[in-house]
Amino acid sequence: MILPIIAYGDPVLRKVGVDIDKDYPNLDELITNMKETKVKAQGVGLAAPQIGKAIRLFIIDASPFEKDEELDDKERAYLANFKKIFINAKILKEEGDEWTFNEGCLSIPDIREDVVRRPKITIEYVDENFEKHTEIIEGIAARIVQHEYDHIEGILFTDKISSLKKRLIKKKLENISKGKVNPDYRMKFPLLKRK
Ligand SMILES: [Zn+2]
Mean pLDDT of the 10-19 span: 98
Confidence check: pLDDT of 133 > 80: yes
pLDDT, averaged across the chain: 97
In terms of residues, how long is the chain?
Answer: 195
Alpha-carbon distance of 181 to 162, in angstroms, equals 23
Whether the full predicted model's pTM is greater than 0.85, yes or no, is yes
**Spacing, Cα 135 to ligand 1 middle (Å):** 22
CA-based torsion, 190, 111, 154, 85: positive or negative = positive
**Spacing, Cα 113 to ligand 1 middle (Å):** 12
Alpha-carbon distance of 46 to 32, in angstroms, equals 12
Of 24-33, 62-71, 167-176, where does mean pLDDT reach its minimum? 62-71
Mean pLDDT of the 10-28 span: 97
**Spacing, Cα 149 to ligand 1 middle (Å):** 9
Please identify which of the residues 75, 103, 113, 148 carries the catalytic annotation.
148
**Spacing, Cα 73 to ligand 1 middle (Å):** 26
**Spacing, Cα 98 to ligand 1 middle (Å):** 20
Mean pLDDT of the 57-70 span: 95
Closest CA to 132 of 93, 169, 90, 73: 90
Catalytic residue status for 70: no
The reported pLDDT for the residue numbered 193 is: 80
Closest CA to 125 of 153, 163, 89: 89
